[in-house]
Amino acid sequence: MKPTTQFVLFLFIFCFWANLTLAQEKVWERLILPNQTDIVFGGKKLYFLEDTEGKLRISDILKADRQAQFERYDQDIFTHKATRSVFWFKINAQNLSGEKAWIAFNTTFLWYIDYYTLQGTDYQLNTQTGTLRPAHSKAIPTQFFWFPIHSDSLVQTVYFRVETFRPVEIPIEIGTSAALYENQRMNDFLVAGFVGLVLVMFVYNFFILLITKDKIYFWYIIYLIAMLFQTTYVNNYPLFSHEKLTEWTNLYIFVWGQQSVTLIIIFTTYFLDFPKIAPKSKYLTFPLIFILSGLIPLLNLTGWVHYTSLSPLIQVLMLVTAFSLLFLALYLWLVKKQRKARFYTFAWTSLLATMVIYFMVIKGILPYNILTRNSTFFGAGIEIVIFAIALADRINQMRSEKNQAQAQTIQLVKEQNIILEKKVSERTAKLNQTNEELNLTVTTVAKQRDDILSSINYALRIQNAIIPKEQELQKSLDCFVFFRPRDIVSGDFYWFAHKENIKILVVADCTGHGVSGAFMTMIGNNILNQIVYDQEIHQPDRILNLISPLLEKTLLHSEGKVKDGMDISIISIENQNLADFENLQGLKINYAGAMNPLYYVENQIFTEIKADKIPIGGGGKVDFLYRKHEIMIKNLMGFENPQSLVLYLCSDGFQDQFGGEHNRKFMVSRFKELLFGVSEKPMAKQKQILEAKFDEWKGAQKQTDDVLVVGIRV
């Protein structure tokens, strides 16, 4: 072989060997920060490795075979669909700024991040942070994740272990803290402007809701709140920072995140009036609402479907919802000629367009900057403003329709007036005739009313003549009478007889009140006169035992069984020593009662003698014998300060009166306390207190029954 040929062959073998050696070693691109003011994107100089089982450690990653598996990413923003895999990132950074710099992951959706740096000769864990880790784990207190790199100019190789079940979207930047803060400040201004716009729209539409009471504004306000939280959250600016709440919102985003979509469906249904204009739309909207608000959150909460499997399903549903609503709006605008559908189409299209821009930025089709990255803020803001304009136009349109309807109504009224005037003239004659007949009827009714009132007033005069006056009673007894009929005449009455050394007092409550009760009082008065004066029977029990058969005899002509009766309490005060009438020891007091008890106060002791629970008449037992009760008077003269005996007879009208704060009965217990409380006072004062208490309790209520209370001091 010739020397020339040998040289060429040697040169060929050497070059082949050199190329083979170089091919086995990767040339790692560096992420260089040239100065203090620049911010450099790191997506295209990022190397990643997908750990599908999530079991690799940093020691495994540093091995040659694993290093060879790292792939270089070719876009500014690293994106990946939702997966259970763990991602390892490798970055070769060189800081030429002369100051401490940071690698920034500008996202809030990474659950766990482990940052490894070279410390001495080995790689050690530098920082553990992430959305689901405590906020203090961050190196810098921002909503994003910043990781420090040295200020020297040497090339530094760092590793990141990232785990999240969410779709991955990581804008990676390197810069000094001043540069990164300045960039973040611009984002903060944009977010603040969006939040301010939403709050202004909220207040404006809230006041319209209060004025119009239109439920469309209620749903729009709820939708505004949902859009505020949803849009800021999607754009890495969550409005809540509590650790437990942050953890819950990330793990169960499908529980709350889909509600904004549900609300836009409900708002659209009311705004475009689907039930009236497009009734068949319910076959689309109702299933979407059920799936988005019920089924998807249930699957997320229970874990029946894994988080990563729900993400593609949600994306499909979001696309179906978005374009279905858009097509329905276009149909109503172009086919049904609905004015409000035009506004809705513009608003919905603006939001969808900015979502497409955001998607193109993520995929690297459009450049990444503050405007393109936050395009959804602009889309949501435009949508909110257009909806507000549409709702305002809705009010104007409703006002125009109202004016048109009023004009039509006025014209119709004019036409109807002509017809009505003719009918009115025809009916006026009939009305005049009817009025004359009515006037005659009114006159007749008024005369009948006057006759009835005259009869009742005459009955009152008769009753007043029968019932003794309080002044007459006070000539024989130290007493008071609180007597207040419910109507003009009363069903309650009292009767008194004074024969030689015996005083008899009767308090009765007859069946009914008004005219019917008044008739019974006259019958009862007559029967008492027969028993006491004609038959000269003075014992209370014997009087009661004779009243019932006499009442039956008096009312014998009534059809059927007699239902009328009365409740009576009777006392007799007998002076056994005519020469010493004022000495209490010479008095004998007997009581008998049918339904109505006797109360008395002796030496500051309140006592109740219960009546027999059988009324007089009214279908009760005719052969029943009422009992006599004798009041044993203590030797009051033996006390240092002897006091008189006070007795009270009453009907049930006072205690049954409704009134007070809760409109209830006065009740027996309260009535007893009242009597005991006034027992020491003079009899006239007692009556004043009872009347005042009754009026206070009754207030504006109607009087329930006749009221009769008689108090006697002996």
Which pLDDT value is given to residue 577? 58
Which pLDDT value is given to residue 565? 82
Parallel, antiparallel or unpaired: strands 31-33 and 86-95 = parallel
What would you report as the CA-atom Rg of the chain, rounded to the nearest whole angstrom? 51
With a cut of 60, say whether residue 637 has pLDDT above it. Answer: no
Q: pLDDT-derived band of residue 18, with 50, 70 and 90 as boundaries?
A: very low
Residue pLDDT, tens place only, 591-632? 999 999 999 999 889 999 999 998 887 665 667 889 999 987
Phi, psi for residue 291 in degrees, rounded to 5: -70, -45
With a cut of 70, say whether residue 433 has pLDDT above it. Answer: yes
Under DSSP, is residue 527 helix (H, G, I), strand (E, B) or coil? helix
Q: pLDDT-derived band of residue 24, with 50, 70 and 90 as boundaries?
A: very low
With a cut of 60, say whether residue 9 has pLDDT above it. Answer: no
Mean per-residue pLDDT, 230-237: 71
**219 token code pair:** 């749903």
Q: Concatenated DSSP letters for 8-76?
A: HHHHHHHHHHHHHHHHTS-----EEE-SSS--EE-GGG-EEEEESSS---HHHHTSHHHHHH-EE--SS
Q: Among residues of the chain, what percentage have pLDDT more than 90?
A: 25
d(CA 257, CA 263): 11
Q: pLDDT-derived band of residue 300, with 50, 70 and 90 as boundaries?
A: low
d(CA 574, CA 439): 63
With a cut of 70, say whether residue 374 has pLDDT above it. Answer: yes
Under DSSP, is residue 682 helix (H, G, I), strand (E, B) or coil? coil
Which pLDDT value is given to residue 358? 73
Which pLDDT value is given to residue 620? 59
For residues 156 and 149, is the Cβ–Cβ distance under 8 A? yes
- Tell me what the pLDDT averaged over the chain comes to: 80
Which pLDDT value is given to residue 16? 44
Which pLDDT value is given to residue 578? 47
Under DSSP, is residue 262 helix (H, G, I), strand (E, B) or coil? helix
Q: pLDDT-derived band of residue 496, with 50, 70 and 90 as boundaries?
A: very high
With a cut of 50, say whether residue 639 has pLDDT above it. Answer: no
Alpha helices (H) in 303-338, listed in sequence order: 307-334
C-alpha dihedral, 380 to 378 to 365 to 159, nearest 10°: -90
d(CA 188, CA 183): 9
**421 token code pair:** 């005037």
Under DSSP, is residue 320 helix (H, G, I), strand (E, B) or coil? helix
With a cut of 50, say whether residue 581 has pLDDT above it. Answer: no
Q: pLDDT-derived band of residue 89, with 50, 70 and 90 as boundaries?
A: very high
Q: pLDDT-derived band of residue 262, with 50, 70 and 90 as boundaries?
A: confident
More confident residue, 298 or 157: 157
Which pLDDT value is given to residue 171? 87
Parallel, antiparallel or unpaired: strands 565-575 and 77-80 = unpaired
Instruction: Indicate the residue type of 12.
Output: F
The one-character DSSP state at 703 is: P
Say what the pTM is. Answer: 0.50
More confident residue, 707 or 142: 707
Q: CB-hemisphere CA count at 13 Å for 555?
A: 23
Which pLDDT value is given to residue 405? 74
Mean per-residue pLDDT, 213-220: 81
Q: pLDDT-derived band of residue 335, with 50, 70 and 90 as boundaries?
A: confident
For residues 622 and 549, is the Cβ–Cβ distance under 8 A? yes
Q: pLDDT-derived band of residue 439, with 50, 70 and 90 as boundaries?
A: confident
More confident residue, 361 or 23: 361
More confident residue, 15 or 351: 351
Work out the number of other CB atoms within 10 angstroms of the CB of residue 384: 26
Tell me the CA distances in angstroms from 353 to 76, 404, 645, one per residue in order.
22, 38, 99
Helices 259-271, 339-362: crossing angle, 10 deg rounding: 160
More confident residue, 639 or 675: 675
For residues 624 and 614, is the Cβ–Cβ distance under 8 A? yes
Choose from 105-109, 307-311, 460-464 the range with maximum mean pLDDT: 105-109
Mean per-residue pLDDT, 76-81: 84
d(CA 611, CA 591): 9
Mean per-residue pLDDT, 15-42: 64
d(CA 383, CA 398): 22
Q: pLDDT-derived band of residue 25, with 50, 70 and 90 as boundaries?
A: very low
Mean per-residue pLDDT, 672-676: 94
For residues 160 and 123, is the Cβ–Cβ distance under 8 A? no
For residues 103 and 93, is the Cβ–Cβ distance under 8 A? yes
